A and B are shown apart, each in its own frame.
Chain A
């Protein structure tokens, strides 16, 4: 069964550094999403993406965040200058329709 994959599984970075989190959505899906979950807190929506454009973004998704689909398979989330409070699990999801399918997540630790 096709799955959403994410790399790396764990990323450790220094505060102020840029990180890129990578996702490979399910191949015939057209809608892509990023969510995050700070330890012990709820899953929070960041952004959705369709047809090479952002469809919707939350108030969390400020100028330090960007998303890109650089080729036909990858979907990336870039955080330009990481802060301590960016430490979280980041989940990518894709959907063919209303239901969303999530990847296993990338644990980002900012030191």
Chain B
């Protein structure tokens, strides 16, 4: 699986958009970008995933650059409850039953 690079921490004001970047310059053609988050030692929570097109769901939007070497997770209106560690994970295909490899992630702090 391709290596990812994320900033260790970010701050965001409540109600504003939180834009979390991820670099994955060695991503290969069959690898997807997944985002999970972990709120204070709770179980990780799936957010979104994508291959090359931008994706949106009820939680967030995922913007993947055209060369697929980086992506941005967007939380459109951050709330205090979005304070968490956010993990960007690159993973081969949509293989079921295969591991997730978590890195250090980005600690997002949403401030009132």
Contact = CB atoms under 8 A, between A and B. Distances in A.
A42 B49 CA distance: 20
A33 B32 CA distance: 20
B43 A4 contact: yes
Counting contact residues on chain B (CB < 8 A from A), the size range is: 20 to 34
A98 B94 contact: yes
A95 B96 contact: yes
A89 interface: yes
A99 B49 contact: yes
Interface in A34-58: 35, 37, 42-45, 48-50, 55-56, 58
B42 interface: yes
Interface of B is mostly: loop
A75 interface: no
B49 to A, nearest CB: 6
B102 A55 contact: no
A99 B37 CA distance: 13
Interface string A59-78: 00000000000000000000
Contacts, number: 65
Interface in A82-111: 89, 91, 93, 95, 97-105
B41 interface: yes
Contact of B102 (A43, A49, A50, A98): A43
Contact of A102 (B44, B93, B94): B44
Interface of B: 32, 34, 38, 41-46, 49, 91, 93-104
6 contacts: A45-B100, A45-B101, A56-B98, A89-B41, A105-B41, A105-B43
Interface of A: 4, 30-31, 33, 35, 37, 42-45, 48-50, 55-56, 58, 89, 91, 93, 95, 97-105
